[in-house]
Amino acid sequence: MRIISYGAAGQVTGSCHMLESEGFRILVDCGMFQGNRELEARNYARFPFKPNDIDVVVLTHGHLDHCGRLPVLVKAGYRGGIITTSATRDVTRLILLDAAKVQYEEYATRRRKARRRGETVQEPLFDEDDVLVTMDRVDGRARNGERVQLNRRISVTFHTAGHVLGSSFLEFNIREGKRSWRVIFSGDLGNRSRHVVPDPEYPRPADWVVLESTYGDRRHRSFQASINELADAINDTFRRGGNVIIPSFALERAQDVLFYLRALREEKRIPLGPIFLDSPLAIRLTNVYRRHPEALDPVLRRMLDQGKDPFFFPGVYLTPTAEESKTINAITGGAIIIAGSGMCTGGRVLHHLRHNIWREESSVILVGFQAKGTLGRALVDGAPKVRIYGEEFVVRARIYTINGFSAHADQAELLDWADATGDARVLLVHGEDKALTALQRKLRDKGREALIAEEGRAYGDKH
């Protein structure tokens, strides 16, 4: 038995791990590298293994940094199945189709400019047809809590990871002659304070655990305090007569925010007024949430059973088309606008920022992680002026940063979860250096054997 990481080793994106046992090869996730040009260039590199040597792919969840290179794998000759939950299958389909569209749009713009200089540009990694061909290989029969037999010696059990809709952590049970192994891949683990997806399950004692470390060095702020901050920010903005802009990721964060706004409105803690979900992808994904009650928190499942919609309630307006979206521009106050992208690097949120960022009555509420170099990060850091579509804007709107809504477990939750794996050896992945080393130190303080995965290096029985 051996485990080799080909992505998310020493960094957060590009999750891709190989689990091998007596010649049987399982690929856990096949994600995109994201964040900067250098990393993105890696998506075009050849795989460091032969795609047609892999026996099966198992997918933990539908975030692009976990599923985004599946179409590339299929194009490169992979002919086997991709096993996951039915909710993850539906999420992945939308996420990959959107990625194909975004890549094509960026490619078309770059090509136009490059032609004027007599240059050529790299083609998109994949198109919509490639996504559809890939989706034909995705088998959504897995259910969290149930085991899937991969061959006579190896099974995988999916367990609720509580990160995004359908997300799983994976427990592999492997027999090699008289020896047996249990290897757990955490995938991305959820934060227990949130309500839309169920809390992560605890794992069983194992021999190895491959553990994500995104927030390995951090504690989240209290969830209740974050809800209170959200209510205060909205009330304050409406008193000033402005709009509230909430830049949001389309998967999970948008649904979380809608659910909390519903609760605040029911408790009469925020006034009535239109709430716009101004993102075609978020609208489609929210429909996937409603179609998969089995993957929701029991409270939301009960609401759906009673005919109540957790996400779409009176006052919520969906604006899938560009024309509908433009009508929002005429509203100067009293509206909450949820739009992508989550870090303000593109998408419709830029139009809403153009109309509101210079107005002292309006607010921007940042509820997600903002990476260095993004417009969202500039706002968090208090930039007095920003550029949007080449035009300079003064920042007069009030900027709120609310940190308690993360979809990832924090350091305490990661340690608590890892405790349940007994004395399993821990292989740390999916984190930046600081997070990886902080989590390693904490685990070693507890007497655990914890290693930071090196890309391409094999760990396992002979380790």
Residue 300 or 407 having the CB closest to Zn ion: 407
| Segment interacting with Zn ion (CB under 5 A) among 57-65, 86-94, 375-383, 386-394 | 57-65
Count of residues in contact with Zn ion, rule CB under 5 A: 2
For the CB of residue 197, give the shortest distance to Zn ion in the complex, in Å.
12
Q: Is position 29 an interface residue for Zn ion (rule: CB under 5 A)?
A: no
Half-sphere exposure of 347 (CA within 13 A, CB side): 27
The size of the chain, in residues, is 463
Range 155-172 burial, b when 16+ CB lie within 10 A, else e = ebbbbbbbbbbbbbbbbb
Q: Do the bridges between strand 458-460 and strand 2-7 make them parallel or antiparallel, or are there none, so unpaired?
A: antiparallel
Query: Which one, 63 or 359, has the nearer CB to Zn ion?
Result: 63
Q: Return the number of the residue (364 or 414) whose C-beta is nearest Zn ion.
A: 414
- Between 91 and 156, name the residue whose CB sits nearer to Zn ion: 91
Angle at 249 between CA 245 and CA 252, to 5 degrees: 115
Quote the CA–CA distance of 31 and 213 in Å, as a whole number: 16
For residue 307, count CB atoms less than 10 angstroms from its CB and return exposed for 0-12, middle for 13-18, buried for 19 or more.
Answer: exposed
Residue 161 C-beta: closest distance to Zn ion, Å: 9
Nearest distance from C-beta of residue 164 to Zn ion, angstroms: 6
CB of 163 to Zn ion, least distance (A): 6
Beta carbon of residue 393, minimum distance to Zn ion (angstroms, whole number): 32
Q: Residue 125 CB, nearest distance to Zn ion (Å)?
A: 19
- Extended beta strands in 122-178, E state: 138-142, 147-149, 154-160, 168-176
Site mask for Zn ion (CB under 5 A), range 169-188, x = bound: -------------------x
Nearest approach in angstroms of CB 245 to Zn ion is 24
C-alpha distance from residue 214 to each of 288, 413, 438 (Å): 26, 12, 11
- The smaller minimum CB distance to Zn ion, of residues 170 and 174, is found at 170
Q: What are phi and psi of 357, to 5 degrees?
A: -65, -30
Alpha-carbon span 299 to 450, nearest angstrom: 37
The distance of closest approach from Cβ of residue 212 to Zn ion in the complex, given in angstroms and rounded to an integer, is 8
Binding range to Zn ion, per CB under 5 A, among 63-71, 228-236, 369-377, 384-392:
63-71
Q: What value, to the nearest 5°, has the Cα angle with vertex 244 and ends 239 and 250?
A: 155
The position carrying tokens 């870090």 is 343
Contact flag: residue 63 with Zn ion (CB under 5 A): yes
Q: Could you tell me whether strands 168-176 and 154-160 are parallel, antiparallel, or unpaired per DSSP bridges? A: antiparallel
Q: Which amino acid belongs to residue 277?
A: L
Residue nearer to Zn ion on the CB measure, 162 or 242: 162
Q: Which is nearer to Zn ion, 32 or 135 (CB)?
A: 32
Give the C-alpha separation, 139 to 135, whole Å: 8
Helical ranges in 292-356 per DSSP H: 298-305, 322-327, 349-356
Candidate segments 58-66, 298-306, 329-337, 448-456, binder of Zn ion by CB under 5 A: 58-66
Q: Report the C-alpha gap between 432 and 136 in whole angstroms.
A: 34
Question: DSSP readout, 204-273?
Answer: PP-SEEEEE-TTTT--PPPHHHHHHHHHHHHHHHHHHT--EEEE--TTTHHHHHHHHHHHHHHTT-S---
DSSP 8-class letter at 43: G
User: Binding segment for Zn ion among 55-63, 279-287, 382-390, 436-444 (CB under 5 A)?
Assistant: 55-63
Q: Between 34 and 226, name the residue whose CB sits nearer to Zn ion.
A: 34
- CA separation (Å) from 284 to 89, 281, 316? 14, 5, 15
Smallest gap from residue 66 Cβ to Zn ion (A): 6
Per-residue contact string for residues 131-170; x = within reach of Zn ion by CB under 5 A: ----------------------------------------
Nearer to Zn ion, 276 or 417 (CB): 417
Nearer to Zn ion among residue 78 and residue 249 (C-beta): 249
Sign of CA dihedral 257, 260, 265, 268: negative
Q: Is 359 in the site for Zn ion (CB under 5 A)?
A: no
Q: At closest approach, how far in Å is the CB of 61 from Zn ion?
A: 6
Name which of 213, 224, 251, 218 is nearest 338 in CA terms.
251
* Closest separation in Å from C-beta 10 to Zn ion: 18
How does DSSP assign 408-439, residue by residue?
Answer: S--HHHHHHHHHTTTT-EEEEESS-HHHHHHH
Site residues (CB under 5 A) for Zn ion, limited to 286-325: none
CB of 408 to Zn ion, least distance (A): 8
- Comparison of 17 and 63: residue with beta carbon closer to Zn ion: 63
Closer Cβ to Zn ion, 165 or 364, answer by number: 165
Residues that bind Zn ion (CB under 5 A): 63, 188
